[in-house]
Amino acid sequence: MTKQNKLKHIKAFSLCVIVAFSSYAQNPDNMTNNTLLQEWTGPYQGVPAFDKMKVEDVSAAVEKGMELSLADIEKIANNPAAPTFENTIVAMESSGKELDRVFTYYGILSSNMSSPEFREISSKLAPKLSEYQSKISQNEKLFQRIKAVYDASQKKPLAADQQRVVDLTYKSFEMNGANLDAAKKERYAAINKELSSIYNSFSNNVLHDEENYVTYLNKDQLGGLSEGFIKSAAKIAKDKGRDGEYAITNTRSSMDPFLTYSTERELRKQVWTNYYSRGDNGDEFDNNKLIAEILKLRKERVALLGYDNYAQWRLQDRMAKTPENAMALMNAVWPAAIARVSEEVADMQTVANENGDNITIEPWDYRYYAEKVRQKKYDLDSDEVKQYLQLDKLTEALFFTAGELFNYKFTPVAEGSVPVFHEDVKVWEVTDKDTGKHIGLWYLDPFARAGKRSGAWATTYRSYTSFEGEKNVLASNNSNFVKPAPGEAVLVSWDDANTFFHEFGHALHFFSSNVKYPTLNGGVRDYTEFQSQLLERWLSTDEVINKFLVHYKTGQPIPAELVAKIKKASTFNQGFSTTEYLASAIMDMKFHLADPTNIDIDKFERETLAELKMPKELVMRHRTPHFGHVFSGEGYATAYYGYMWADVLTSDASEAFKESEGGFYDKDVAAKLVKFLFAPRNSMDPAEAYRLFRGRDAKIEALMRDRGFPVPKE
């Protein structure tokens, strides 16, 4: 989580939250001994004391952090001096440092190291954190000071970065009800408080189903699975007290390869059902009623502000600006995506028939037969490709790319010199290759484990700012690769390697920041995925392929003919990947444009997908009952389309590199990339930043070419 202004820095958290009782609650004098509140010490401008954090310290630390932060806010609000940029906006940027530190630990305990004890604590604090947020966003004296600075700046503009902070701060308060009357403010705050608890419950329900639906295999049910996968599954089963069996966990990193390679169709169906039924099992952990309530509360809340629906309110400060613009992009791509699915299914059915399998393709067959088609059409075996995709070598490839584009050098720090929260976490120092200037630290937490949320993500523990002296960056990448058996290499799929590069793109975005004020490290949701999606393109460059894709046993480089097959197959299965993503993005928007009164979530999902002519052979990437991006918080709500919006920018920017003399390593284009698209963060309008890089707006035609879809005629 990156610190933005005081109103945003809770929302960025997507919170599950806390207030149980620790010894500190009864003895405030002990608060200075609470590790989570203390200033960071040690090398590298101070680092989080991850080795000393305790769940039992969380409640008191958050309570005290909120108290101290609100004291800072009250001091600003009640300053007798006339409001200025320095005594109001800068003072807000500097406030709440103790709570920021607590949130760093909280984020780890929530996402990387969750436990039943923590979840119980977090559910109790959710409403308190919501109240804390409302005390800031609805502080009338504070808002009047912000408004005074804003109004003055409209007559006499400030320096560009200062003006951007003022504009973003004012807009954020305005969007969150600062101009409402007292009765509406009270209701607005009550809705936020209720939502915070529901978001927490939603997340915990999904995590419950991920942890408790495990498929165990015996040795006669391993057909088609790779040796490395089998060894890993055996270790997981043993760790779960099922020695001699093989565990398929209910996470994408375990489900995906199993569905791709297992010859056991009934087991594929079981694993598929477990995964896509998370939060939708008709029990106490079912999320459908929670979603209905979320939609009602969101609509009621934005109605207080005069908006017809949540999407209108949410998108006003995004690149798309309106839900109509977002839907127009998705509708432009959708027909080509589902048409491609029809072609893919036909190819798969042909292979199934040729094999005498006597089946009709179902969703749990898609990955399996797609792999058969890949082998038939392109003579490309994904498992063969994996032999050349070692996690350690891919990490080196990340560093190489960062060195070529950003001039960064990554050096491992001495083990034990920087505290980590788990033995799997490794840390590197980031410096400038030429000057040796220290830029920050990069933490990598690569493996899946109990209590760690699924997927992959990036975050910061400290972001770059310079308004109080230059601060270095502490950035983290987190993945869920299946941990191998001892002595075995970590081999990943091409898709997982892409994701690894994607998340590292977020880290480079953090490291390259040159903004002065914390608020400017925030992002515009349909833009911030662009930088990370763009970095995926370097995985398939010749420089990375030739240097880092070597066989995990022989050390031999990947054969040129295999590389040729990979590139030839680059648009393979785009129907599947585009449709499963777009279905989720469209459903996100449709839910928030619908009337939520008496809405039946399951029925609405079914009927909407039917209207879209969703192919029956696949499902949404994130079915509604476990769509955490949208319903465990508000970060991606009506904004999941943003990945495609960003992908238009990505495809267009990629063509800028392709057209240049030096290709993807062209120094001039790379310099513009860093200067205009990475370093400014949110200190300038994203559309203007892109025009400075490209000389024009991005064009959708590049996206269609990228995916091998027909390019619409002008």
CB of 403 closer than 8 Å to CB of 90: no
Q: Which band of pLDDT confidence, cut at 50, 70 and 90, is reported for residue 454?
A: confident
**Which of 284, 271, 198 has the alpha carbon at shortest distance from 233?**
271
pLDDT at residue 14, rounded to an integer: 33
Q: Which band of pLDDT confidence, cut at 50, 70 and 90, is reported for residue 326?
A: very high
The Cα–Cα gap between 632 and 16 comes to 8
265-276 vs 252-261: helix crossing angle, rounded to 10: 150
pLDDT tens for residues 159-180? Answer: 999 999 999 999 999 999 999 9
**Which of 25, 89, 12 has the alpha carbon at shortest distance from 62?**
25
The Cα–Cα gap between 67 and 104 comes to 17
pLDDT tens for residues 618-642? Answer: 999 999 999 999 999 998 999 999 9
Half-sphere exposure of 613 (CA within 13 A, CB side): 9
Q: Which band of pLDDT confidence, cut at 50, 70 and 90, is reported for residue 23?
A: very low
- Tell me what the mean pLDDT of segment 691-707 comes to: 95
The Cα–Cα gap between 141 and 145 comes to 6
The Cα–Cα gap between 448 and 208 comes to 15
Between the alpha carbon of residue 452 and those of residues 96, 258, 275, 403, 623, the distances in Å are: 28, 20, 16, 31, 20
Can you give the C-alpha Rg of the chain in angstroms? 25
Strand partners, 447: 481
CA 198 to chain centre: 20
Would the CA dihedral through 672, 675, 676, 681 be positive or negative? positive
CB of 641 closer than 8 Å to CB of 588: yes
The pTM (predicted TM-score) of the whole model is 0.85
Please give the full DSSP string across 544-597, using - where no structure is assigned: HHHHH-B-TTT-PBPPHHHHHHHHHTTTTTHHHHHHHHHHHHHHHHHHHHS--T
Please give the full DSSP string across 601-636, using - where no structure is assigned: HHHHHHHHHHHTT--TT---SS-GGG-HHHHSSSSS
pLDDT at residue 3, rounded to an integer: 37
**In this structure, what DSSP letter does residue 537 have?**
G
pLDDT tens for residues 333-365? Answer: 999 999 999 999 999 999 999 999 999 999 999
Q: Which residues are CB-neighbours of 348 under 8 A, at least 6 positions away?
A: 361, 365, 366, 369, 370, 372, 373
Question: In terms of C-beta density within 10 A (0-12 exposed, 13-18 middle, 19 or more buried), how is residue 284 classed?
Answer: exposed
Q: Which residues of 204-243 are buried (b: 16+ CB within 10 A; e: fewer)?
A: bbbbbbbeebbbebeeebbebbeebbebbbbbbbeeeeee
List the alpha helices (DSSP H) in 243-354: 252-261, 265-276, 288-304, 310-315, 323-354
pLDDT tens for residues 106-122? Answer: 999 999 999 999 999 99
Q: Which band of pLDDT confidence, cut at 50, 70 and 90, is reported for residue 2?
A: very low
CA 453 to chain centre: 11
CB of 490 closer than 8 Å to CB of 391: yes
- Tell me what the mean pLDDT of segment 252-256 comes to: 92
Which secondary-structure segment (H or E) carries 368?
helix 366-378
- Tell me what the mean pLDDT of segment 258-271 comes to: 98
Would the CA dihedral through 189, 191, 194, 197 be positive or negative? negative
> In the chain, helix, strand, coil percent, each to 5?
60, 5, 35
- Token representation of residue 278: 């998370």
Kindly state the percentage of the chain with pLDDT values over 70.
95
Q: Which band of pLDDT confidence, cut at 50, 70 and 90, is reported for residue 648?
A: very high
Q: Please, what is the average pLDDT of the chain?
A: 93
β-strand pairing of 473-481 with 457-462: antiparallel
Please give the full DSSP string across 38-60, using - where no structure is assigned: SPPBSSTT-B--GGG--GGGHHH
CA 390-425-539 angle, to 5 degrees, is 35
Per-residue pLDDT for 712 more than 80?
no
- Token representation of residue 166: 């003022």
**In this structure, what DSSP letter does residue 456 have?**
-
pLDDT tens for residues 357-389? Answer: 999 999 999 999 999 999 999 998 989 999 999
- Token representation of residue 598: 């008496």
CB of 559 closer than 8 Å to CB of 551: no
Long-range pairs for 34-40 at CB < 8 Å and ≥24 separation?
34/60, 34/61, 34/64, 35/105, 36/61, 36/65, 36/101, 36/102, 36/105, 36/106, 37/61, 37/64, 37/65, 37/98, 37/101, 37/102, 38/101, 39/101, 40/101
Q: Which band of pLDDT confidence, cut at 50, 70 and 90, is reported for residue 21?
A: very low
- Tell me what the mean pLDDT of segment 5-21 comes to: 33
Between the alpha carbon of residue 131 and those of residues 57, 514, 628, 678, the distances in Å are: 21, 33, 23, 34
Please give the full DSSP string across 208-241, using - where no structure is assigned: HHHHH--EEE-GGG-TT--HHHHHHHHHHHHHTT
pLDDT at residue 699, rounded to an integer: 94
pLDDT at residue 107, rounded to an integer: 96
Q: Which residues of 494-516 are buried (b: 16+ CB within 10 A; e: fewer)?
A: bebbbbbbbbbbbbbbbbbbbbb
CB of 5 closer than 8 Å to CB of 519: yes
pLDDT tens for residues 460-498? Answer: 999 999 999 999 999 999 999 989 888 899 999 999 999
pLDDT at residue 714, rounded to an integer: 60
pLDDT at residue 526, rounded to an integer: 86
pLDDT at residue 408, rounded to an integer: 98
Q: Which band of pLDDT confidence, cut at 50, 70 and 90, is reported for residue 659?
A: very high
Place of tokens 């929670």: 290
- Tell me what the mean pLDDT of segment 640-660 comes to: 96
The Cα–Cα gap between 197 and 200 comes to 5
pLDDT at residue 702, rounded to an integer: 95
Q: Which band of pLDDT confidence, cut at 50, 70 and 90, is reported for residue 188?
A: very high
- Tell me what the mean pLDDT of segment 527-548 comes to: 95
